[in-house]
Each structure stands twice: as C-alpha cells, then as structure tokens.
Structure 1
Amino acid sequence: MPLARYESIDSSLKDRILDVSKQDFATHGYEGASYNQIIQKIGISKGSMYYYFENKEDLFITCFLDAFTNATVGFDYASFSFEDDEQAYWNSIKKISSKQWNDVLQHPLLMSLMRQLVSLGTDHSIFRKLNSLCEGLSEYGDLMSILEHGVQIGAIRNDVPLNVLIRMNTEYEVWLIQELQEERLDREQVVDKFFEMFRRLFEMRR
C-alpha cells in the first residue's frame, strides 16, 4: 500500500499517478513494466515517487485495488438478503456473485491487471499481500457474516474454517481467469462456473 504521504497529495496528481501506472501495467505486464519509465511518464521526480510508494510492487497493489474498487463501486454485500431457507439463501448468493463478476468483467483495464496478477502465481508476494489486505477490508467482514449465517441455517459447511475455504476459493477464481484468458470459457460461462464451484466448495456435506 502507498506510504502515508500519498494520501495527502493533490487529487489530480493522485489520479495521474494511478491512471498512467495502470495503463503501463496493463500494456506491459508487471514484469515488463519499468518503474523508472512509469515515473517519467507521470512527470514527477524519482525522489517524489519514492516519497509515495516503496517500490513497483507497492504501486501495482495500489493500482489493482483502485481498479477493483472502481469496477465494483455499485456492489454492496449489505444488500444481501439473509434468508433462513437454504434454497433462498443459495439464490441470494448466486445473485450477488453474478453481479460482482459481471461488474468486474465489464472493465477491460481491471481484467488486464487481473491477468497480470494471475500470471505471477499465487505464491508471489504480491498475491499474498493482496490476500492479506483484502482480509482487512470491511467487505471481507461482510462476506464472513453472510457465510456465518449460512453455517447457522445449515447451508454452509462447518468442518473447515471459513477463512480457509475463502482462500481455497481464490484458487478457483485464478483458474477461471486463466480459462477466460485462453478463451476456453466465455464471460457467461465464467459467471455460472464460479457459482457452481463456490457452492460445491462451501455447501454443507450431507
């Protein structure tokens, strides 16, 4: 994440840093993007950039989270209907998961950054840091509340910790992005496949 000084800079400069950086990462990939060239394109000194970000990895993480936030600005876990009927509960899960995936898939820049992230692999430090950061977001807490409700009504399994299941589900998401990238699945199939795999992973074993 950016250093504290970044939050106090002018919004126009902040937007320029993010816009230029996201485009460069999307065009050249994380490995192919040059931190020095990004700084030159932004039009600030190298010293100033290091005043805001520790390194290229820090910048990429900030760009990814910003792109994801912009793509899902209309998405809100709080709108989830806490149904006590199991089938109604799963219908609500399908509704919110479909909306989130459709929101993401409609943003080419975010999809490009996601492909870059997937290409790095889940063992890469960027992937691990993003997972850790996401677990600290309010949205993660909202998701946990939804899943805990599912456990209470017998829809969600209770033999594996929920945070472990969420991390396992991340591997599914990575696979779906890869399948989409290789054109083995189209967007509609990705949305449907995600819910199918999510339910298979999380549903209470009978």
Structure 2
Amino acid sequence: MTPPLPRFHRLPPEQRAAILAVARQHFAEHGPQNASYNRIIEAAGISKTAAYHYFDGREDLLTAVLDDVLARLLGALGAWTPAADTPAFWTRLEGDADTLSRHLIEHPDDLALAPAAVAQNGGTAWRDWFGALITDGQRLGVIRTDVDQDLLVTMTIAAFSAADEWTLTGLAAGREPDREQVWTLLRGLWGREAGGRAH
C-alpha cells in the first residue's frame, strides 16, 4: 500500500479528519477488502476528480485510514516510559490496558480495523511500543530474560489482543470480565522469576 498524495496532506486538518472518518466507517463496516471507493468518496462529499488529487485509488485511502487508526490507538496508549519501580510498572500497564479498552469500546470503527492497522509496515510501531514495555519490565525484574525478546514481544502482543477481544466480548454480553485473569496469564507468560504482581 502507498501513502496519500501530497495534496491530501495540504488539506485543512478538519477536512482531512472528515474524509478519514467517513472512510474509516466504510472500511470498518464492509471490511478493508470490500469497501467501495466510489461510495466512500460520495459519502465524504468529494468528487471523483478531487479524490484522485488526494489518493491514487482505494489502496492509498485505505493506507491513510489504517495509519490514522494506528495513530489513534498509540495516542490512547501514550509512549511507554520507564517505570520507577515494580508497583508503578503494573499500575501503568493496567491503566494503559483500561484506556485502550475504553477507546476501543467508544470507537468501534477503530476496533474493527485494529488488526489491519497494527499490521501496517510490518507492525513496527506497535511492536516498538511493546518492545519498550518488555525492556522496562526486564529492567525491573518483572519480565523474564531467558527467552528471546522478539518472541516475548510477539507473545505479549498476542496475549493483549486476545485479552482485549475477551474483555470486549464480555462487556457486549453485559458482564464485567475479571481482568485479574489477564494479569495471571501475563505473569505466567513473563516467567516465574518475575515474582508476584505488586498492588
């Protein structure tokens, strides 16, 4: 996928945001592979001629939407900064997980497109965030060091993805999932030598 054309980035921010919001809704509703480019640009209120000044086509628009979704997800999380100690690490991690869950609940289009968005550019930005988390956890002794870090990052991302889906499914069914089960699983994944989770 290629990025939008320079003219798109020269549009006023509110106009760019409006186009991306319409496109995000269509891609979320119909799927990244099935949404109609013509219907999106019609719903966004731009002509086909104007649209081709902003995007080479549907794939360019999809790239812009997925980049935007990823930025929104990473914005909800904020950059991972080193924790002062183990209790601060867990407090921050729980807070970030709750913030991301709330964001996904409040923005179902982001939820629908999250898997494709985090896979953008090989998932580098998403992996970088989790890499910082793992590195910090290892520094504090919260996360094991006897397993390849790339494998730990991959497994941690998979665990969080599954936990988010499990949490959101539970909330949709009207039950509050027991998040302590997520932390129990993470402690198991991250290793016995990490010690217990501090409260």
Task: Name the counterpart of 1:102.
Answer: 102
**RMSD, aligned α-carbons:** 3.6
Tell whether 2:156 aligns with 1:169.
Answer: yes
- 3-state SS in 1 of match to 2:31: helix
Q: Are the structure 2 counterparts of residues 78 and 179 from structure 1 closer, same or farther at C-alpha, using a change threshold of 3 Å?
A: closer
Q: Distance in 2 between matches of 1:190 and 1:46?
A: 49
1:54-203 equivalences in 2 (<5 Å): 54-67=56-69, 69-70=71-72, 73=75, 75-77=77-79, 81-83=83-85, 86=86, 89-114=89-114, 117=115, 128-129=119-120, 131-135=122-126, 140=128, 143-176=130-163, 178-179=165-166, 183=169, 185-186=170-171, 188-189=176-177, 191-203=179-191
Name the aligned partner's letter for residue 188 of structure 2.
R
**What's 2:51 paired with?**
49
Q: Quick one: distance in 1 between partners of 2:135 and 2:36?
A: 44
State how far apart, in whole Å, the 2-side matches of 1:164 and 1:53 are.
37
Q: CA deviation at 1:18?
A: 0.6
SS at match of 1:33: coil
Aligned length: 189
Unaligned runs of 5+ in 1: 119-125
TM-score by length of 2: 0.69
1:22 matched residue in structure 2: 24
**Distance in 2, Cα, partners of 1:27 & 1:53:** 21
Corresponding residue for residue 121 of structure 1: none
Question: 2:100 corresponds to which letter in structure 1?
Answer: Q
* Inter-partner Cα distance in structure 2 for 1:201 and 1:42: 45
What is the letter of the counterpart of residue 170 of structure 1? I
Q: Deviations over 1:16-60 (max 9, x none)?
A: 211211121233232331112212222334454344334434433
Q: TM-score, normalised by structure 1?
A: 0.67
Contact 1:72–1:103 (8 Å) recurs in 2:
no
**Deviation of the 1:157 alpha carbon:** 1.3
Amino acid corresponding to residue 120 of structure 2 in structure 1: K
Q: After TM superposition, give the deviation of residue 172 of structure 1 in Å.
A: 2.8
